[in-house]
Amino acid sequence: MSKLLPSAEGSLLLVGGKLVPGGAGVFATMNPASGEVLGQAANGDAGDMDAAIAAARSAFDDTGWSRDHAFRAACLRQLRDALRDNIEELRELTIAEVGAPRMLTSGPQLEGPIGDLGYFADLAENYTWETDLGVASPMGIKSGRTLRREAVGVVGAITPWNFPHQINFAKLGPALAAGATVVLKPAPDTPWCAALIGKVIAEQTDIPAGVVNIVTSADHALGAQLAGDPRVDMVSFTGSTATGKAVMATAATTLKKVFLELGGKSAFIVLDDADIAAASSYAGFSVCVHAGQGCALTTRLLVPRASYDDAVAAAAKAMAGIKPGDPAEGGTVCGPLISERQRDRVERYLEIAQAEGGTIVTGGGRPDRPGWFVEPTLISGLSNTATAAQEEIFGPVLVVIPHDGDDDAVRLANESPYGLSGAVWGTDPERIDHVVRGVRTGTLGVNGGIWYAADAPFGGYKQSGIGRELGVAGFEEYTETKLVATAE
């Protein structure tokens, strides 16, 4: 038996420093590439969540965790190193439970976010926790002012299934570095990925009891319990916009701080001076990565009207060449969708697209293999207001839309409730800059530029969220600002 992987009886919760079974028993975690049961995960209940919140509250209020910056940095590096020691077991689990292509586990699906813990350890040590604002005399009272940053308190972290390690650590890393304590509620589709973090924390690090608590559960109501509990000072949520609105409404009952990273329908803008075939091929390839299950993937391809047919042909050729495959194989780009439910959802969008006048140029079917796969699918003939061009599908689906020049491309890109990501391809720097400045979105890649990094803040405009994750801005989400004025 592996020293890390769950036993036949299932994984365990981490509550108050102890690995414990779930109060509601267990539930199945599935392999999306085969449709078969992988094993059992601890099914936490409301009592488990209550105990986890209490443990996090006590660890914050009654220990020196929030004030010992050097100790927190050491613990984060210790966690990073322990995870690296177990990297191959984590890799195989991630491929099996998430359906993540093996190639991505050397980057954002596993090794990248583990390495990013080192960035937040460094930040905990080197951040300017106090700033001298000098002396002023408001109302004639001479006062020396000091600006302090302090940990926000107890953080409720609610995470999705598509990039579980990346998103779990994008919350745990900065929250722990800032001195917060955390209750993590991961998605029911990927409980083992989170449970194994808890096992490593409990058995291989010096992180004090209660600082990190992990409650896996099939019950989505536990997320609402976490968001509404008055002992929780902040909710950090990544997921759909619809659920984010519910989280925000629940959190408002106790007026707690909220970070939301939500949906996207990002535009890939190709200007008329770009290499149309190369840009369109790139757009077709990128939407197939991890079966299109990424909130920041570009799912609308906006191309010059005069080059529309050429763009469709180039994107279709690229997508037709990407065959859905076993995520355990090194060359697989497009693996399975996470669940049968998600596959059905993607297929309903394809039906709607055709009913609204769209044409499926390539793909649209199910490969002849077990598991929850959908072929990479290109749709032409739709307007920018069509359902498939406005709503987040979360599958390997690309809609091609014509534009009538740079300003029209900006208008179309912004004609969306979302503003998470995007791309611009062209050759004239001034025109590119004009488009970049016009698109209301949180991140943009120019000519293939990659914006993802530990030190780079990520988040969206409009209904794509509130706040930023990663970077100094993401770290500061987990802090409060205190001004101290001392009469002199």
Concatenated DSSP letters of 423-451: EEE-S-HHHHHHHHHHS--S--EETT---
Q: Can you tell me the distance from the alpha carbon of 223 to that of 28, in angstroms, rounded to the nearest whole number?
A: 19
CB distance 177 to 123 below 8 Å: yes
**Per-residue pLDDT tens digits of the chain, which is 488 residues long:** 356 777 656 899 999 999 999 999 999 999 999 999 999 999 999 999 999 999 999 999 999 999 999 999 999 999 999 999 999 999 999 999 999 999 999 999 999 999 999 999 999 999 999 999 999 999 999 999 999 999 999 999 999 999 999 999 999 999 999 999 999 999 999 999 999 999 999 999 999 999 999 999 999 999 999 999 999 999 999 999 999 999 999 999 999 999 999 999 999 999 999 999 999 999 999 999 999 999 999 999 999 999 999 999 999 999 999 999 999 999 999 999 999 999 999 999 999 999 999 999 999 999 999 999 999 999 999 999 999 999 999 999 999 999 999 999 999 999 999 999 999 999 999 999 999 999 999 999 999 999 999 999 999 999 999 999 999 999 999 999 999 999 99
Query: Are residues 210 and 72 part of one domain?
Result: yes
Residue 267's nearest CA partner among 470, 461, 465, 469 is 461
Query: Are residues 235 and 290 part of one domain?
Result: no
Give the alpha-carbon dihedral of 126, 130, 136, 142, to 10 degrees.
-140
Any idea what DSSP says for residue 60?
Answer: H
450 burial level (CB within 10 Å; 0-12, 13-18, 19+):
exposed
Please spell the DSSP secondary structure of 165-224, one letter per residue: HHHHHHHHHHHHHHT-EEEEE--TTSHHHHHHHHHHHHHH--PPTTTEEE---S-THHHH
Q: Report yes or no on 74 lying in a domain.
A: yes
Residue 164's nearest CA partner among 282, 55, 32, 285 is 32
Query: Are residues 273 and 257 part of one domain?
Result: no
Query: Are residues 49 and 106 part of one domain?
Result: yes
Any idea what DSSP says for residue 289?
Answer: G
Query: Are residues 414 and 273 part of one domain?
Result: yes
| CATH code for the domain of 395 | 3.40.309.10
Structural domain boundaries enclosing 136:
13-262+464-487
Query: Are residues 212 and 309 part of one domain?
Result: no
Q: Taking the CA of residue 345 as centre, how many other CA atoms within 13 Å lie in the half-sphere pointing to its CB? A: 13
Sequence letter at residue 329:
E
Query: Are residues 233 and 95 part of one domain?
Result: yes
Residue 130 appears among annotated catalytic residues: no
Any idea what DSSP says for residue 462?
Answer: E
Sequence letter at residue 123:
L
Instruction: Choose the catalytic residue: 9, 97, 130, 261.
Output: 261
Terminal alpha carbon distance of the chain: 66
- The total number of structural domains that make up the chain: 2
